[in-house]
Every structure is written in structure tokens, then in C-alpha cells.
């Protein structure tokens, strides 16, 4: 695959580190890990799961899963904190963030990684809206999360306006990037706004950021969805703050 030698060095192809932040996901984590381990990413991969202080037995399941590096926070510190712990432990030249639920399909790994491995991008955001917008009022596949879609559009419009770009989705869980790109990049956020701070700082640095279409099957709050409207307000403030604040 073109670009492989560039990322991994002349002697070997690049390696992928899949970082999975996890908090109280006992019902889904086994299925997620099965899919991640089976997924063909086009390159060798390691799987790192960071248990962010789970209290539902998730940690015990991770300890019994072969092929996974399991790390643990003694207390819940937030998704961003778990991602940072995973990245610090990563050995691969390329890092991909994977949620611990079943909303996203690891079969999309190749599409997300392709621009990086081809040497065309430094980072890639998976977009849920690049090919199809959700439907809310008609059809069997209508989404129950109209308020989330409105919030997403606010985040998209604000980021595009402030940073002079035209992307279609910033909240899709799949983010991939060259590890060296963020190794020295200090990210303050420990919550869901981690992704926004990361992307905003990459855009300010002039990093080559691409999008790739991904599939999405939203789960309900009863099924374990955790993000709330308050998190959306923090995201919006994060986008504004890092457009102007020095770092």
C-alpha cells in the first residue's frame, strides 16, 4: 500500500494502535472487541482499551480478553482523559479512536485510514453525514435524536466558520491520525470535548485533515448513551476558545 514505508520506516510497514476509551460498557464491550480484533485495517494493529473507572464489571471482562492491552483509571476521569492515556501507551505510528459501544463499525477502518496511509492526510475524521443525512419523521431508519442533529449542525457551522474549513461532521467517533502529530500537542480537555480541542488545534497548525464516510447506528440512552446537552455547550465553548487562545 502506498505510503506504508513513509509511515512505518523503510524497514517495516506502519502499525495501527486502536484506542478504546471505556466506561461502564459491560453489555457491549465484548462484541466491540470481537469486531475490532477481526477487522481488516490493511495494516497490523494493536488494541488498547482504557477502562475509565468502570463499576459494572467491565474491567473483569477486559482482563479475560486475549489480544487486548487493558489499562485502567481508578476513578472516572472522562473520555478525553482515557483517550490521552491510550495514546500515551500506543506503539503504532497511526492511532485510531474507537468507541466502546456498537454505534460504529470497524469495517470502516480501511476507509478512514486510507488517506493517511496514502500520504494524503495527517489526520482523518469519520463523517456520518458525508453520504447521507439522518431522517427523523418518516421511514424505518428514522433517527430518534433530532436534538443531537441540531447540536451537531451548530458545532459544524461554528467550526467551519471560525476555522475557514468546510467539513461535514466533527462528532463522528472515528478519528485517526499520525501519532507523532499529537505526541507533543497538549490537550487540556478530559471530557467529550477532547475531540473538538484536538481538531481545532490541528486546524490551527495547518495539518492536512481529511474526511471519510462511515456508518452509524445510534443507541438510546436506555442502551447506555452518555453524552448530554450540557456536553454540547462545553464543545461549543471549546471551539471558540481554541480559535483565539494561545497554546
* End-to-end C-alpha distance for the chain, whole angstroms: 36
Largest distance between two CA atoms of the chain: 54
- Domain boundaries defined on the chain: 13-244
pLDDT (0 to 100) of residue 150: 85
d(CA 106, CA 35): 6
The reported pLDDT for the residue numbered 167 is 97
Q: pLDDT by residue for the chain (247 residues), tens digit each?
A: 334 445 565 566 799 999 999 999 999 999 999 999 999 999 999 999 999 999 999 999 998 899 999 999 999 999 999 999 999 999 999 999 999 988 899 999 999 999 999 999 999 999 998 766 555 544 445 444 566 678 889 999 999 999 999 999 999 989 999 999 998 899 999 999 999 999 999 999 999 999 999 998 865 555 556 678 788 899 999 999 999 999 8
This prediction has a pTM of 0.87
Q: Which segments of 2-92 are extended strands (E)?
A: 15-22, 44-52, 69-73
Rounded to whole angstroms, the Cα distance separating 107 from 161 reads 32
Cα–Cα dist 169/159, whole Å: 10
User: Given phi > 0 = left and psi -120 to 50 = alpha, else beta, which region is 33?
Assistant: alpha
Sign of CA pseudo-dihedral 87, 221, 36, 24: positive
Query: Which class does domain 13-244 fall in?
Result: alpha beta
CB atoms within 10 A of CB 88: 12
Cα–Cα distance for residue pair 210/170, rounded to 1 Å: 11
Q: How far apart are CA 75 and CA 195, in angstroms?
A: 21
Amino acid at each position: 500500500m502506498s505510503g506504508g514505508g513513509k509511515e512505518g520506516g523503510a524497514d517495516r510497514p506502519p502499525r495501527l494502535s486502536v484506542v478504546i476509551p471505556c466506561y461502564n460498557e459491560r453489555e457491549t464491550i465484548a462484541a466491540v472487541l470481537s469486531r475490532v480484533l477481526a477487522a481488516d485495517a490493511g495494516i497490523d494493529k494493536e488494541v488498547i482499551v482504557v477502562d475509565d473507572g468502570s463499576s459494572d464489571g467491565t474491567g473483569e471482562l477486559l482482563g479475560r480478553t486475549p489480544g487486548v492491552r487493558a489499562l485502567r483509571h481508578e476513578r472516572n476521569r472522562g473520555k478525553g482523559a482515557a483517550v490521552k492515556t491510550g495514546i500515551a501507551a500506543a506503539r503504532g505510528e497511526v492511532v485510531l479512536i474507537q468507541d466502546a459501544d456498537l454505534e460504529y463499525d470497524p469495517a470502516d477502518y480501511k476507509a478512514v485510514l486510507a488517506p493517511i496511509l496514502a500520504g494524503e492526510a495527517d489526520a482523518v475524521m469519520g463523517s456520518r453525514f458525508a453520504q447521507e443525512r439522518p431522517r427523523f419523521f418518516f421511514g424505518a431508519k428514522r433517527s430518534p435524536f433530532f436534538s443531537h442533529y441540531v447540536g451537531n449542525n451548530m458545532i459544524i457551522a461554528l467550526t467551519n466558520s471560525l476555522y475557514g474549513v468546510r467539513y461535514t461532521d466533527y462528532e463522528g467517533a472515528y478519528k485517526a491520525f499520525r501519532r507523532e502529530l499529537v505526541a507533543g500537542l497538549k490537550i487540556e480537555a478530559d471530557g467529550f470535548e477532547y475531540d473538538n480541542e484536538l481538531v481545532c488545534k490541528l486546524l490551527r497548525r495547518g495539518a492536512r485533515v481529511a474526511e471519510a464516510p462511515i456508518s452509524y447506528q445510534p443507541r438510546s440512552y436506555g442502551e447506555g448513551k452518555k453524552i448530554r446537552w450540557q456536553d454540547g455547550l462545553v464543545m461549543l465553548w471549546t471551539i471558540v476558545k481554541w480559535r483565539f487562545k494561545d497554546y
